[in-house]
């Protein structure tokens, strides 16, 4: 039995995660070994295992949870709740910074969304989009 087959039979999720991430690295012209080092540094900061991180990458198809972009690299940010420390998912730099600039404050984010909605929707069409309003 080849090594890959044995790893797959023993740890199918880990094997698939590694294959997915290796392919993603090749697709983006990145060095897989450098990615593994970067991944190790990132996950240690947030108290999650390599398996948990790899599973998030697979679940999100290597893309940002919010905008679905790939961040131009495979080093997505590990987003976490600043009060509890709980990891929420993987985000690109722009989305991660955006949440950070709003201090993860849902009221501010809702107001910002309403601001954007109010700025582009003509008054006559407002009833169509009224369900989008989140806060008054």
Q: Give mean pLDDT, residues 101-120.
A: 86
| Residue-range definition of the domain harbouring residue 129 | 105-136
Longest distance between any two alpha carbons in the chain, whole Å: 69
Task: Please indicate, yes or no, whether residues 22 and 87 belong to a single structural domain of this protein.
Answer: yes
Number of domains, the chain: 2
Model-level pTM greater than 0.75? no
Q: Are residues 55 and 22 in the same domain?
A: yes
Domain holding 14: CATH number?
3.40.1800
- Is 88 in the same domain as 121? no
Are 75 and 10 members of one domain? yes
Q: What is the pLDDT of residues 85-95, one digit of tens each?
A: 899 999 998 99
Are 73 and 110 in a shared domain?
no
- Both 59 and 110 in one domain: the answer is no
Neighbouring-strand partners of residue 80: 87
- Is 78 domain-assigned? yes
Give 30-57 pLDDT, tens digit per residue: 666 666 766 677 788 888 888 888 888 8
In a domain, 109, yes or no: yes
């Amino acid at each position: 039995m080849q090594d890959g087959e044995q790893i797959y039979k023993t740890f199918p999720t880990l094997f698939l995660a590694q294959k997915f991430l290796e392919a993603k690295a090749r697709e983006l012209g990145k060095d897989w070994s450098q990615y593994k080092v970067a991944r190790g540094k990132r996950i240690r900061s947030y108290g999650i295992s390599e398996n948990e991180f790899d599973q998030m990458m697979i679940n999100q198809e290597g893309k940002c949870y919010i905008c679905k972009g790939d961040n131009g690299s495979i080093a997505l940010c590990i987003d976490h709740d600043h009060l509890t420390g709980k990891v929420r998912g993987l985000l690109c730099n722009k989305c991660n910074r955006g949440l950070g600039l709003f201090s993860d404050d849902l009221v501010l984010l809702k107001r910002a969304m309403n601001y954007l909605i109010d700025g582009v929707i003509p008054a006559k069409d407002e009833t169509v989009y009224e369900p989008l309003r989140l806060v008054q």
